[in-house]
């Protein structure tokens, strides 16, 4: 019951964060050098909040109509989708967004969230988008068992998403001459490429951390599921 309520609260929280950001956070062009091209969907923070909304909704549906058993005789489709979304997108992206945002913020917040935007982007929304995503996904990792996909599948989904997003922000730049994030304005191209590689490596590292924590916390359940799979194969 508590797990169901937690997933319900997570889904509502991130949905409302996306809704509020989309409808009420309107930054005048005079207060920001960022182009309006692409709307909210040019920000990885917003895309990640949408993914968190989708994940917690899937987790809620699985609580209600699926199963959380370690090795069920039949794993419902909703459970398989939930496990894959968590492993390949929800966890690594939440950690990536939280670490990079607050890391850059600590060095120089003007490079990620300039003070001029404070009147338009409320503090509570900032924490929903950049803090709670990490807190909630970590709690879910420690309280709900899931079976990670193979690394080939997980890394393929994650790197495909990251590369698509990287392509997207460059489309915006070449169309408008404006970078989505102020930090990219202060980097030359060689450093910028290194920054991209570092970000991709960080996202993949976050994936492996989640995988290892899941295996450590749920080692017995993972072993039961693996044994169950081998018996079926025979």
Residue 48: pLDDT band with limits 50, 70, 90: very high
Per-residue pLDDT for 84 more than 90?
yes
* Region 114-121 average pLDDT: 88
Is 61's pLDDT higher than 80? Answer: yes
Q: What pLDDT does 33 receive? A: 64
Distance, CA of 153 to CA of 150 (rounded, Å): 5
Rounded to whole angstroms, how far apart are CA atoms 76 and 63? 11
pTM of this prediction?
0.90
223 has a pLDDT exceeding 70: no
Q: How many angstroms separate the CA atoms of 4 and 113, rounded?
A: 34
pLDDT, one tens digit per residue, over 171-189 is: 999 998 889 998 898 899 9
Q: Name the residue among 7, 2, 46, 51 with its Cα closest to residue 23.
A: 46
Phi, psi dihedrals of residue 65, rounded to the nearest 5°: -125, -10
Most confidently modeled range among 9-13, 27-31, 65-69, 147-151:
9-13
Contact 148, 216 (CB under 8 A): no
Q: By three-state DSSP, how is residue 119 classified? A: coil
pLDDT at 52 over 80: yes
Give me the count of residues in the chain. Answer: 234
Q: Which two tokens stand for residue 34?
A: 């960022």
pLDDT at 56 over 90: yes
SS3 state at 173: helix
98 and 135 in contact (C-beta within 8 Å)?
no
If you ran DSSP here, which 8-state letter would residue 29 be given?
G
């Amino acid at each position: 019951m508590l797990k169901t309520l937690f997933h319900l609260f997570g889904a509502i929280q991130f949905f409302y964060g996306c809704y509020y950001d989309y409808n009420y956070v309107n930054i005048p062009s005079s207060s920001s050098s960022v182009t309006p091209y692409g709307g909210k969907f040019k920000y990885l923070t917003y895309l990640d909040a949408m993914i968190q909304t989708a994940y917690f909704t899937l987790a809620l549906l699985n609580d209600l109509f699926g199963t959380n058993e370690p090795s069920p005789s039949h794993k419902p489709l909703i459970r398989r989708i939930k496990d894959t979304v968590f492993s390949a997108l929800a966890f690594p992206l939440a950690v990536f967004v939280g670490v990079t945002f607050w890391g850059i913020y600590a060095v120089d917040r003007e490079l990620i969230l300039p003070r001029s935007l404070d009147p338009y982007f409320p503090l509570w929304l900032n924490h929903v988008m950049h803090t709670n995503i990490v807190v909630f996904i970590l709690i879910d990792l420690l309280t709900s068992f899931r079976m990670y996909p193979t690394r080939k599948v997980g890394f393929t989904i994650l790197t495909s998403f990251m590369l698509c997003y990287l392509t997207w922000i460059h489309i915006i730049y070449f169309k408008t001459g404006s970078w989505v994030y102020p930090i990219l304005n202060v980097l030359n191209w060689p450093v910028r490429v290194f920054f991209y590689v570092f970000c991709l490596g960080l996202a993949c590292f976050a994936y492996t951390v989640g995988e290892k924590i899941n295996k450590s916390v749920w080692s017995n359940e993972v072993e039961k599921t693996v044994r169950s799979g081998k018996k079926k194969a025979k």
